[in-house]
Amino acid sequence: MEFAVGVLIVAAGLIVSIALHEIGHLVPAKKFGVKVPQYMVGFGPTLWSKTVNGTEYGVKALPLGGFVRLVGMFPPARAGARVRTRRDGRPGMVEEARAAALEELGPGEEHRAFYRLSVPKKMVVMLGGPLMNLLIAAVLMGVVAVGLGIGQYTTTLGSVQQCVPEDPQATECTETDPVAPGAQAGLQPGDEIVTWGGTDVDSWEEISATIASGGTGPTQVEVIRDGEHETLTVAPTPHERPVVDDEGTPVRSDDGEIVTETRPYVGIGPTFELVRQPVTAVPGLVWDLFSRTVHIVVTLPERLVDVAEAAFGTAERDPGVVGLIGVGRFAGEIASIEGQGYGLAERSADMMGLIVSVNMALFVFNLVPLLPLDGGHIAGALWEGLRRRLAMWRHATDPGPVDTAKLLPATYVVIAFMLGMTVLLAYADIVRPVSLSG
């Protein structure tokens, strides 16, 4: 039951995000006088709709997106331009698109076509949607960071290993495994580490770095236990440990084996808890998420190849790219996690964090400068502005709006790619799902 509730919560969050994205387009378009016949959340058959001031607002059966229909997205062909026709004499694909884009303009409404807007106004309309997703991500990030806290490893020990396993991937001790340095020194779960080797430590990252650079000699460690300061002596031992990347994922060699390295080993692990952040930390958190999302989008073709190899073969699944089914699975897992220390605050933070990540992904992906994405229209507006500015400097004739209709063949290729990506991710999320528990 909890799993289904989690899915429904995130589904509702995504639908609201989509609705607000489209409002980001709708409001400035109507403000600038563009004719907007439809504002719809979802695709397929219409479940409900109401027309207000010439715009039909509605909800459709498939909540997989949404759209705002702006009249006049494509300009008419320039006078004297070559008009392509089919073999039977009917207008070609581009000309049909031009006609469809303008057919809802009544007499005297020519000024309400989108293509007649100035470049700055076109930019505002097309940026409105992605910026709404960015705003949602930033606001929810602030709520999570300031109100609930960001999950962080602390300087308080959550676990103390009892042995040094001979197998780097082993999870249980054997009789032949030597005692781990941390247990031998008397460290216990609940100890708060204050200094390590005479160095003050304020985070688990500082503890890890100090252990890594301190070698294997006896080291003085000061802890707070039951409110009292105690000093223990720990002698780390060299041990083969998996190499992990910045995201904590084990690094694998070309043949698929986990890469290991010898480094000082103590056998301790931190607690993980929500730590509230100051408001000033929110911009940095948003920027960090933006940077990581840009990296994923830039490397998306390569990642999709990896997903295909995992879905149709035996390769490891890339956890950084999932579809809507994968997002739903994450939500269900978050809602159904049971365990001490994982309460309503942690569940709420993780659920909102999931919606934050999706909105940031929508923001970044929609800025890709390819039609039919918002970024394609933004790129067209920028090119139009540049052409007009150059013409003005040369005292030449105004070249007019950019003829984005000519890009329709490429647009259909992008649409086919997006549909293929959606199907691939859905299939991979079913046959090779990514789980939060690994």
User: Annotated catalytic sites, by residue?
Assistant: 22
Judged by DSSP in three states, 132 sits in helix
Q: For 317-355, give the DSSP string.
A: P-TT---HHHHHHHHHHHHH---TT--HHHHHHHHHHHH
Cβ-based neighbour number of residue 103 at 10 Å: 9
Which of 202, 198, 242, 204 is CA-nearest to residue 218? 198
C-alpha 256/C-alpha 139 separation (Å) is: 40
- Contacts of 205-212 with CB under 8 Å at 24 or more apart are 205/153, 207/155, 207/270, 211/236, 211/264, 211/266, 212/263, 212/264
Partner residues linked to 244 by β-bridges: 250
Strand bridging mode 192-196 / 55-69: unpaired
State the burial class of residue 176 (Cβ atoms within 10 Å of its Cβ: 0-12, 13-18, 19+).
exposed
Q: Check if the beta carbon of residue 36 is closer than 8 Å to that of residue 52.
A: no
C-alpha 20/C-alpha 41 separation (Å) is: 10
Q: For 163-230, give the DSSP string.
A: B--SSTT--S--TTSPBPHHHHHT--TTPEEEEETTEE--SHHHHHHHHHHSTTS-EEEEEEETTEEE
C-alpha 187/C-alpha 234 separation (Å) is: 9
C-alpha 343/C-alpha 345 separation (Å) is: 6
